[in-house]
Amino acid sequence: MPQSPNHPAYWHTLPRRHGDRVRADGGSAANDMLVMGTHVGTHIDALAHVSHNGRLFGGADARAAGEGGFYRDHGVHTIAPMVCRGVLLDVPAALGTEVCEPGYEITVADLETTERLQGTPVERGDAVLIRSGWGRRFDAPDRDTFIGHDSGVPGVGEAGAQWLAGRGVHAAGADSIAFERLAPGAGHSSLPAHRVLLVESGVYIVETLDLEEIAAQKVHEFTFVLSPLPLFGATGSPVRPLAVVAGPAAEDGRG
Amino acid sequence: MPQSPNHPAYWHTLPRRHGDRVRADGGSAANDMLVMGTHVGTHIDALAHVSHNGRLFGGADARAAGEGGFYRDHGVHTIAPMVCRGVLLDVPAALGTEVCEPGYEITVADLETTERLQGTPVERGDAVLIRSGWGRRFDAPDRDTFIGHDSGVPGVGEAGAQWLAGRGVHAAGADSIAFERLAPGAGHSSLPAHRVLLVESGVYIVETLDLEEIAAQKVHEFTFVLSPLPLFGATGSPVRPLAVVAGPAAEDGRG
Amino acid sequence: MPQSPNHPAYWHTLPRRHGDRVRADGGSAANDMLVMGTHVGTHIDALAHVSHNGRLFGGADARAAGEGGFYRDHGVHTIAPMVCRGVLLDVPAALGTEVCEPGYEITVADLETTERLQGTPVERGDAVLIRSGWGRRFDAPDRDTFIGHDSGVPGVGEAGAQWLAGRGVHAAGADSIAFERLAPGAGHSSLPAHRVLLVESGVYIVETLDLEEIAAQKVHEFTFVLSPLPLFGATGSPVRPLAVVAGPAAEDGRG
Amino acid sequence: MPQSPNHPAYWHTLPRRHGDRVRADGGSAANDMLVMGTHVGTHIDALAHVSHNGRLFGGADARAAGEGGFYRDHGVHTIAPMVCRGVLLDVPAALGTEVCEPGYEITVADLETTERLQGTPVERGDAVLIRSGWGRRFDAPDRDTFIGHDSGVPGVGEAGAQWLAGRGVHAAGADSIAFERLAPGAGHSSLPAHRVLLVESGVYIVETLDLEEIAAQKVHEFTFVLSPLPLFGATGSPVRPLAVVAGPAAEDGRG
């Protein structure tokens, strides 16, 4: 699984396997140990994840907010489960291409073209999932392909984030590990969309979404269900969100 | 948070806090490390969690199934997200009491009385959540109160599990850490309902549910949404399931 | 293994066991994952472990010292490996008893009586290991017996710590989890010997030592060898120190 | 720190920092959480680490030996602390070069030339530390340089391991992550020296030693002190071994 080197990697082990200890009645239980950051795999960023000039969303002092070892006010436990309208903005489909180029900044015009062509205007309170096509690289044998440090990664930039915030969306997601556009070779040195959404606007960010299936099925509007683990004071949570449609459910989670 | 001593405890730390490292543009990111078993807090048991006489559901050799360090066939990654009919069986309400007694075995008659009085017959494919009232002890200052080793814990026994399996339910849940009835002082020495559901019937088990709120609101029928993390080869996953009703969503997750 | 509830518990698992993956040449390797605090089992406290009134040893601001997520100046990586004179002060033997009573404060008079009767005066630069006999409880079936919250734990208090510091010792150890005397029921609410040694005097503390074997053999003077893991920025390290005598080595480590 | 991708990576975090929680008396304690494999940094391999054709040292069934989740018989807790004669074989110095070439197999002739030129014959029970000079790459900015998958890594091969076993050494170490010679591009696909030493001969292996300092000081003979953490049932332990000489101690640990 591709992972940001900034976060503790996902490790799963089986401390106990079947056969290790069998009860008198013939039963045995196997169990797990997980070690992981919260920003690995498909996950949601809590508002506490990012600060700017020492301030969190709402103006709280970011350093003081973490004293005690948890973020009481803007931790991921404060995010209510979401059951709301979801909109997929399939940008490359609207632009008549397969996938956006590495490092391409999805513009406000691109977003507006997409919602218009799809007939799915973005509305207040929506969860908006922006497909760049980058998610196709998730299963590349080397993790660098998906992380895209050298190549850059497509996504919205500061302008696109302001457009989303201006529309009053509740959450914004994408099919890349950093949500926003990364310039080739720049890595995470500048993340203006995170600032706009998390710090200035209180909009949650969902990353590493698998949007290929709903895009292929042209599911552009759905009920979005996302239920973060209420990890007290944490800055994010692994999640497996769903796009629920009238017929059978289509999943967009990824792990 | 009460936790079974059989599983790695939940630990959350902040490797990086705001202020530790500030980028040139004034931004900083805080992050988390989680260490945990998968059977802590509200969680779902995969079929691979339990074996009986060396066999998993479907008859596979339980020891061989774990070779490689993961359960490929019945791990939690094989559980499809659930969006299905949910039924709350509020047993103590039907029995005219506040909570079931410690160590009380909820009988088939109790279950049938409850579904009848509520007017919510259990049907094939349902997720059935059985309230004993034990969940009120979740926030007790000492963890032993909720785990209930000495006192025993109320819940269904072998007969109740067979009734659930016979009805063809998809998943069964309860507001205690072991789902099923535990005799006083017996701990987990015998878990017949786990055997019936996980090994013999292929029915998933959800534990440590918070059912108090929907019980108080008399929400006995709803859309049940549960989306396990697709942890490859693991025997369970922490989850935050939802009871979605026509009006505003009522949550039953717990973490 | 008894562990302080203030620290992440020790967990060991085998992610890979023999048979999981066999190379073409018939070889296979098993490996481990450890999760642990650094103050579990036999361990050494770095000076960065404790602050008083916001200051570390030498006067540095304790809060600022931890920014970045590590203690650069007084972390355990700054402790040079020790190969020095070691003295066992077998206090109960000198007092004509088997073990000190729970909660007993070992006095300066006790320490001086012991060094005199043993003929092992404490000198500058020594590692001084103070036996109370509490280590006999290490293998008690319940962890509470060794931790001793309710009973209290014997050990030196503030006066004994000042005596040690006045003698110019390099490190001080004991056969209990907190090194110093704990009053019955008080737990770690007050730890004056830690303050005197770590914050005011720069003397390292070694805890949960197994001193029973060298005490039984009346080995009161030896070469003390302790080699902490150089965990960058950490506040302590698990260790397995040795008491090396002219003949065969006698070990005092514990894990 | 360079680490093998086969083992859980080393992560250190501070769950509690100074200032998070201050006691009434002005004291505060900071603490740590470690997550790590046991084969990271300087470490020792227990005999249980490697099997061949399904057998451990002494012939035990390797698969059965791990049941229960620990290696009771050949785990690292069975390794007695070492205080014994140590010999540094500074191979490149004896060969008149700075460092051995990547992928170079140190021959038996090289080992015998080195012990002869140094005047330090290898004897029964010794700990023999073989310097190739590879340790100079430990601090390279990228971890691949030290791991050396593509370049290959110098070290003894099967013949050298048999020579060491024939001499009856107690432990053998080197300044690389895999101890033995790795062919360019081959990685760990074949590890004959591990088989000879761990499985056939019962000789412990110490890896990722820092031998540069004692080599520079021409310390070729010393008291070797290595005290593994007695991690019950584990296949290895991080260690910080020492080369103790008559004068001031010279350390060869690395972490």
Task: Name the DSSP class of A140.
Answer: -
* Domain annotation covers residue A160: yes
**D192 lies in some domain:** yes
Percent of chain D with pLDDT over 70: 96
Nearest CA in chain D to C37: D33
pLDDT at D255: 44
| Enclosing H/E stretch for B205 | strand B204-207
Distance from CA of D13 to the nearest CA of B (A): 5
**Is the CB of B8 less than 8 angstroms away from the CB of C35?**
yes
Question: Contact D37/C35, CB-based, under 8 Å?
Answer: no
Q: State chain C's mean pLDDT as an integer.
A: 94
User: Do the Cβ atoms of C13 and A11 come within 8 Å?
Assistant: no
Nearest to residue C234, comparing CAs of C80, C66, C82?
Answer: C66
Q: Which of C4, C12, C34 to mutate to test the interface with D (most CBs of D within 10 A)?
A: C34
Mean pLDDT of C44-68: 97
Q: Are C144 and C103 in contact (CB under 8 A)?
A: no
Instruction: Reply yes or no on whether the pLDDT at C164 is more than 70.
Output: yes
- The continuous run of DSSP H or E covering B114 comes out as helix B108-118
Picking from B21, B35, B69, the nearest residue to C68 by CB comes out as: B21
Q: Which helix (H) or strand (E) holds C16?
A: strand C11-16
- Count of domains in chain B? 1
The secondary structure of residue B45, as a DSSP letter, is E
What's the confidence (pLDDT) of residue D7?
Answer: 87
> Which CATH number characterizes residue B166's domain?
3.50.30.50
Q: Is the pLDDT of residue A97 over 90?
A: yes
Residue B21 in domain? no
Give the residue on C whose Cα is nearest the Cα of D13: C69
Determine whether the interchain pair D11/B15 forms a contact, defined as Cβ–Cβ distance below 8 Å: yes
pLDDT for position A250 = 54
Q: Let me know if B131 is exposed, middle or buried by CB neighbors in 10 A (0-12, 13-18, 19+).
A: buried
Mean pLDDT, chain A, as a whole number?
A: 94
Strands (E), D17-170: 27-29, 31-36, 43-45, 50-52, 82-90, 105-106, 127-131, 155-156
Average confidence score pLDDT of chain D: 94
Q: Which two tokens stand for residue A81?
A: 């489960």
CA–CA distance, C47 with C201 (Å, rounded to integer) = 9
- Asked, for residue B131, whether it belongs to a domain, the answer is yes
- Spell out which residues of chain A touch residue B253, defining contact as CB-CB under 8 Å: 81, 227, 230
C17 contact residues in B (CB cutoff 8 A): 69
pLDDT, tens only, A123-141: 999 999 999 999 999 999 8
Query: Tokens representing C4?
Result: 């302080």
Long-range CB contacts for residues A183-190, cutoff 8 Å, separation at least 24: A183/A103, A183/A152, A184/A102, A184/A103, A184/A150, A184/A151, A184/A152, A185/A149, A185/A150, A185/A152, A186/A152, A187/A149, A188/A4, A188/A6, A188/B29, A189/B23, A189/B24, A189/B25, A190/B23, A190/B25, A190/B27
| Beta carbons of A13 and C33 less than 8 Å apart | yes
3-state secondary structure of A12: strand
Q: Mean pLDDT lowest for which of B41-55, B192-206, C145-159, D238-252?
A: D238-252
Pair of tokens at residue A5: 């080197």
**Chain A: which residues have CB within 8 Å of chain D?**
8-9, 11, 15-17, 19-21, 35, 67-69
Whether the ipTM is more than 0.85: the answer is yes
Residue D72 lies in a domain: yes
User: Which residues in chain A are closer than 8 Å to C14, comparing Cβ atoms?
Assistant: 13, 15
pLDDT, residue A246, reads: 75
DSSP state of B134: G
Q: What is the rounded average pLDDT of the residues D58-62?
A: 97
Chain D partners within 8 Å of B14 (Cβ): 13, 15
- pLDDT class of C254 with cuts at 50, 70, 90: low
Mean pLDDT of D224-248: 93
Task: Identify all chain D residues contacting C225, using CB atoms and an 8 Å cutoff.
Answer: 83, 225, 227, 242, 244
Residue written as token pair 């340089």: D145
Q: What is the pLDDT of residue A111?
A: 98
Residue ranges, chain B, pLDDT below 50: 248-249, 255
pLDDT of residue B251: 57
In this prediction, residue C4 carries a pLDDT of: 75
B17 lies in a domain?
A: no
Q: Which domain holds residue D115?
A: 41-251
Q: pLDDT at residue C22 above 70? A: yes
- Taking CB atoms and an 8 Å cut-off, how many pairs form between chains C and D? 246
**pLDDT average, residue stretch A216-234:** 98
Nearest chain B residue (CA) to D64: B63
Contact (CB, 8 A) for D94 and D118: yes
Q: Could you tell me if residue C8 is inside a domain?
A: no
- Chain A residues in contact with D3 by the CB 8 A cut-off are none
Sign of dihedral through CA atoms D58, D59, D65, D66? positive
Does residue A205 fall inside a structural domain? yes
Summary count for chain C: helices (H), strands (E): 7, 15
- Report pLDDT digits (tens) over D7-27: 888 999 999 999 999 998 899
* pLDDT tens digit sequence for A138-167: 999 888 899 999 999 999 999 999 999 999
pLDDT category, A255, cuts 50, 70, 90? very low
* pLDDT number for residue D130: 98
Task: Average the pLDDT over D142-170 and give the result.
Answer: 95
